[in-house]
Homo-oligomer: A and B are copies of this chain.
Amino acid sequence: MMNKTAPIGVFDSGIGGLSVLKQLIRFLPYENYVYLGDTARVPYGNKSNTTVKQYATDCASFLLSKKVKLIVVACNTVSAVALQSVKDIAVDVPVIGMIEPAAAAALHSTNNGRIGVIGTRATIASNSYKNAIIGLAPDNAVQVYSQECPLFVPLVEEGMMQHPASHIIAEEYLSLLISQKVDTLVLGCTHYPLLSPLIRDIMPNTSQIDSGEHSAVAALRLLADNQSLADERKEFLLKHNIEFYVTDYPSHFHAMSQNFLGFEIDTPQLVELTNE
């Protein structure tokens, strides 16, 4: 059985996964966390599946060495192309990815059966969201329209969430989904929740699905089912217990963590990952 006091392990190619950690803390405030960002090899989104699988298992091995009770793959690209590779090495620890919880939420949200998905090139090319949504739906009940948005990550990392250039680019990326009259849009990348207000300006009547939020709810349910939730500790409501690790010190890390997480974090510890 799981150890209630063991930490939840969270990893991402970089710091985008902090938007997922933010949601985990919201639903699971009494837990200990270990967060790993593979900032020496970021981004994963334009690399081959073979390379992403190798990097993902390197990250998961590190978290397993920290005796985590659950691994949250806080990266849509890894969830799309390498979730099984992570599960294969995490034999005694459950693994939650980004895709399945958001796919279920999108199906629950739609009224007209027309769902849009946006993500990195690798996530969209994998068809993981489309397959997951269609796999959950009754025959022909939904149509899924996918759109890659490769510039959204660099725009967010430059803090240009409300910039006129970002607006022009977002209008282009979203034009197909608007013409297809989707009523639900999956934000299939951990950076995209920061663009939620911009997307709402362009698609005001579309429900947005934050993949991090729904994965956090899935984590809550899984730990509750296993009677492995940490006990309530009031002091955690004021000060979180998070160990942060990175493989390289990224530039303007503190400003970025503030944007993604909502609060500044201490300088993370540097680790070197070893190949499996």
Contacts and interface: CB of A to CB of B under 8 A. Distances in A.
A104 B165 CA distance: 35
A119 to B, nearest CB: 14
Contacts of A46: 250-251
Contact of A154 (B50, B150, B249, B250): B150
Contact of A165 (B50, B150, B169): B169
A158 B168 contact: no
Q: How many of these chains are in the complex? A: 2
A164 B158 CA distance: 18
A158 B165 contact: no
A47 B40 contact: yes
Contact of A40 (B51, B155, B157, B168): B51
Interface residues of A, number: 27
A169 B164 CA distance: 9
B51 A248 contact: yes
A226 interface: no
Nearest to A171: B165
A251 B121 contact: yes
Nearest to A246: B48
24 contacts: A39-B47, A40-B41, A40-B51, A41-B41, A46-B251, A47-B248, A47-B250, A48-B248, A48-B249, A50-B248, A51-B248, A122-B251, A125-B251, A150-B154, A150-B157, A150-B158, A151-B154, A151-B158, A151-B160, A164-B168, A165-B165, A165-B166, A165-B168, A168-B168
